[in-house]
Amino acid sequence: MADSLNPKNINELSEEQIINLFAESRHRDHGIGIGDDCSVTDGPNGVKQLVSTDLVIEQVHFRREDISPRALGSKALAVNLSDIAAMGGIPKGFYLSLALPKDLSAHWLTRFRDGLLVLAQRHNISLLGGDTTRSQNDIVISITITGTVKPKHLKLRSMAEPGDVLCVTGSLGDSAAGFKVLSHPDRYSYLSDANRKQLVEHHQEPKPEVAKGKWLAQMEAVHAMIDLSDGLIRDSRHIASQSRCGVDITLDRLPLSAPFKAFHRAQIEQAQDFAAAGGEDYKLLLAIAADDLEEIQKKFKQKFNTPLHQIGTMKKGEPQLRTLRDGAPIKLEEQQFKHFKGS
């Protein structure tokens, strides 16, 4: 195999470049959904099987002193459940690999297990296998999750159409704000305890929207779904590029929570920009046929007692993203999540 790169250091490569390095072994005949939230292959009894995998590493994704083992166990599984939710799937089982440093207490491990298994039980999934080993310094958690979905309910990133309305299932930015609060507690002493707690909780214990994903998947008018893990801007770009459409994001319409507004001291434009960059929201982003929007919003509200927020539209043309405020395009600062070194 020829090198497709000039000699470079890893930290000069984007995650996409690294993924593309391995792309030649991705044969489409073995399944669809590659590059989506889950891979899609044939499952039992005519259903499709979904698989997703996530790596969570100390010092990169969390600091041991910032997060309780219980919350960490919950979050490690939640981010995988969110991938199943984004495909409209039903989670089935998971595989857990752990590398643990010697200085870790058994108490820490039991609390980690408790957080993980409580969430597993809530979603009725079982641990099917895994691997344990020691590590030199850092905790490593690798979870692979499986699920199923009926073929007709499958919602890929590539299925959005020009004219579709882009919606999100909940408020944005809370997790990214919670991360900032954890990283620099002194800077945000103006926040009330309740607001601080809610932001940090969004970051540390995201609630995967499995029930919403499953319900939305049954709607024919819902064309495409993705979970918001990289942030609205990046995840919207994923839909746009895979659906070969443009996308407009209406910043004024982004749903923002009260604690998030308090975090930004009510500077709304700044809050909107930060929410658009975000990251780790674990809400669902979906493209819906415009004609059916109102009805689906109404039923969604009845079913989940929370609104489905319209935040943008898919456009004909190049897969480019525009952000609009007061009806006019504005340019946001380039996001921090672009490079591997910053992830």
How near is the Cβ of 116 to a second copy at its closest, in Å?
8
- Non-local CB neighbours of 231 within 8 Å, separated by 6+ positions: 176, 276, 277, 278, 279, 280, 281, 335, 337
252 is in an annotated binding site: no
Does residue 103 interact with a second copy by CB under 8 A?
Answer: yes
> 249, 232 in Cβ contact below 8 A?
yes
Is 37 or 281 the residue whose CB approaches a second copy more closely?
37
CA torsion sign for 108, 111, 113, 115 is negative
> If binding is defined by CB under 8 A, does position 96 make contact with a second copy?
yes
DSSP reduced 3-state for 74: helix
Tokens coding 34? 């590659």
Scan residues 175-234 and list those touching a second copy (CB under 8 A): none
How many whole angstroms from its chain centre is CA 292?
Answer: 25
Does 173 belong to an annotated binding site? no
Does 159 help bind a second copy (rule: CB under 8 A)? no
Residues contacting residue 71 through CB under 8 Å, at least 6 positions apart:
115, 204, 205
Both tokens of 198, joined, read 């809610």
| Residue among 60 and 330 whose Cβ is closer to a second copy | 60
Rounded to whole angstroms, the Cα distance separating 156 from 38 reads: 9
Secondary structure class of 153 (helix, strand, coil) = helix
Q: Which stretch binds a second copy (CB under 8 A): 137-145, 235-243, 248-256, 264-272?
A: 137-145
Number of residues near a second copy (by CB under 8 A): 85
Q: Which is nearer to a second copy, 138 or 201 (CB)?
A: 138
User: Is 42 marked as binding a ligand?
Assistant: no
196: annotated binding-site residue?
Answer: no
Shortest reach from residue 97's CB to a second copy, in Å: 4
* Residue placing its CB nearer to a second copy in the complex, 39 or 198: 39
Q: Is 52 known as a binding-site position? A: yes
* Contacts with a second copy, 1-40, as mask; x by CB under 8 A: x-xxxxxxxxxxx-x--xx-xx-xxxx--xx--x---xx-
* Residue with Cβ nearer a second copy (137 or 218): 137
Q: Which residues, 288 to 307, sit near a second copy by CB under 8 A?
A: none
Binding of a second copy by 61 (CB under 8 A)? yes
* Contacts of residue 98, Cβ cutoff 8 Å, sequence gap at least 6: 130, 131, 132, 133, 139, 140, 141, 142
| 304 annotated as belonging to a binding site for a ligand | no
Binding residue (CB under 8 A) for a second copy from 109, 159, 289, 290: 109
Pairing of strands 284-288, 222-227: antiparallel
Considering only residues 75, 92, 157, 202, which one is a binding residue for a second copy as defined by CB under 8 A?
Answer: 92
On the 0-12 / 13-18 / 19+ scale of CB atoms within 10 A, 147 is buried
Note whether 324 binds a second copy by CB under 8 A.
no
65 touching a second copy, by CB under 8 A: no
Q: What's the Cα-to-Cα distance from 68 to each of 75, 108, 116, 120, 139, rounded to whole Å?
A: 11, 9, 12, 18, 13
Q: Does 122 bind a second copy (CB under 8 A)?
A: no
- Annotated ligand binding at 53? The verdict is yes
201 C-beta neighbours (distance < 10 Å), count: 16
Annotated binding site: 37, 52-54, 61, 83, 130-131, 157, 227, 229-230, 280, 337
Residues contributing to the annotated binding site for Mg(2+): 37, 52-54, 83, 131, 227, 230
Q: Return binding residues for substrate.
A: 61, 280, 337
